[in-house]
Structure 1
Amino acid sequence: MSNGHGAFLERLQGILKPDRPEIEAAETSDPRTVAKLRATEHVFGRMFPRQEEQPSDEKLAALANAMREQQDDASGLSSIPAGMTFLGQFIDHDLTLETISKLGITEQNDEELPNFRTPRLELDSVYRSGPGMFPFLYDRRFHLVAGTSSNPRDLPRNNADVALIGDPRNDENLFISQLHGLFLRLHNFILDDMTGGSDPTAEHFARAQRKVRDVYQGIIVDDYLPAIVDGDVLRPLLEGFWNGKLPGPYNWDEAPDMPFEFSAAAFRFGHSQVRGSYMVNASRRVRLFDLGGFQAVPADHNIDWNLFFDHGDGKVQFARQIDTRIADTLLNLPDRVADGGPVSLPFRNMQRGQQTFRLPYGEVVAEALGVHPIDKHQKVIDAQLDQTPLWFYVLAEAEAFGGRLGPVGGTLVAGTLLNLLLRDDDSIVKRRGDLHVDGLDALTLSSVAKLVG
Structure 2
Amino acid sequence: MWVILDQMNDKPHLLDLSNVYGSDAKPPSKACGARLSAIRRGLGNRNFILRPVEGVTGKEPSAHVKCFKAGDGRSSVTPNLAVTHTVFLRQHNRLVALLADLNPHWNDERLYQEARRILAAQMQHITYNEWLPVVIGREKMQELFLLPLQKGFSRDYDENANPSILNEFAAAAFRFGHSLIQGQYYLYDLKRKKTGSVQLLHHFFKTQSLYTPGNLDKFLIGLATQPDQKVDNVFTEELTNHLFEKEGKSYGMDLLSLNIQRGRGHGLPGYNSYRANCGLPRSKDFDGLIDLIPRQTVNKLKYLYASVEDVDLYIAGVSERPAKGAVVGPTFQCIIADQFLRLKRGDRYFYDLGGQSGSFTEKQLEEIRKTSFARLVCDNSLVQLTQPLVFKSVSAVNPIVDCKSTNSISHVSLQAWKEFPGKKG
Q: Give TM-score scaled by structure 2 length.
A: 0.68
SS at 1:427's partner residue?
Answer: coil
Deviation at 1:370, TM superposition (A): 1.6
2:221 counterpart (281, 303, 306): 306
- Corresponding letter in the other structure for 1:383: L
**Residues 131 and 240 from structure 1, CA distance in 2 versus in 1: closer, same or farther, beyond 3 angstroms?**
closer
1:223–1:443: 8 Å Cα contact kept in structure 2?
no
Distance 1:411 1:244, change over 3 A: farther
**1:183–1:403 CA distance, 2 compared to 1 (3 A):** same
Larger Rg: 2
Cα drift, residue 125 of structure 1: 2.2
Match of 1:180 among 74, 77, 85: 85
Instruction: Specify which of 130, 134, 139 is matched with residue 227 of structure 1.
Output: 134
Q: How does 1:42-441 map to 2 (within 5 A)?
A: 47-48=2-3, 111=6, 113-128=7-22, 133-136=27-30, 137-141=33-37, 143=39, 152-158=47-53, 161-196=66-101, 198=104, 201=107, 202-239=109-146, 257-282=164-189, 283-296=195-208, 297-300=210-213, 301-304=215-218, 305-309=220-224, 316-334=225-243, 336=245, 343-354=253-264, 356-372=265-281, 374-375=289-290, 377-387=298-308, 388-399=311-322, 404-431=327-354, 433=360, 434-435=364-365
Q: How far off its partner does 1:279 sit?
A: 0.9
Contact 2:44 2:90 in 1 (8 A): no
Structure 1-normalised TM-score? 0.64
Stretches of structure 1 lacking an aligned partner (at least 5 in a row):
1-45, 50-109, 310-315
C-alpha displacement of 1:336: 4.2
The whole-number CA distance in structure 1 between the counterparts of 2:236 and 2:76 is 22
- In the alignment, the residues of structure 1 paired with residue 42 and residue 143 of structure 2 have an alpha-carbon distance, to the nearest angstrom, of 40
Per the alignment, residue 386 of structure 2 pairs with none
- Please give the alpha-carbon distance, in whole angstroms, between the structure 2 residues aligned to 1:190 and 1:148: 9
1:226 alignment partner, SS class? helix
Structure 2: runs of 5+ lacking an equivalent: 56-65, 190-194, 283-288, 382-425
RMSD: 3.7
2:358 aligned with 1:448: no
Residues 47, 259 of structure 1: 8 Å contact kept: yes
Give the stretch that moved more between structures: 130-139 or 187-196: 130-139
Report the 3-state secondary structure (helix = DSSP H, G, I; strand = E; otherwise coil) of the residue aligned with 2:203.
coil
Instruction: Identify if the C-alpha distance between structure 1 residues 330 and 240 changes in structure 2 by more than 3 Å, giving closer, same or farther.
Output: closer
Q: Is the 8 A contact 1:146 1:181 kept in 2?
A: no
How far apart, CA to CA, are the structure 1 residues paired with 2:267 and 2:127?
29
Shift of 1:122: 0.4
Which digits, 9 at most, give the CA deviation of each residue in 1:175-212, with x for residues without a partner? 00011000011111111112218475222222111110
CA distance in 1, matches of 2:233, 2:41: 40
Distance 1:244 1:393 in 2: 37
Aligned 8 A contact 1:421 1:429 in 2: no
* Deviation of the 1:217 alpha carbon: 0.3
**Residue-pair matches, total:** 332
**Cα distance 1:280–1:145, how it changes in 2: closer, same or farther (>3 A)?**
farther
Q: Secondary structure at the match of 2:182?
A: coil
Deviation at 1:369, TM superposition (A): 2.2
Distance 2:263 2:159 in 1: 21
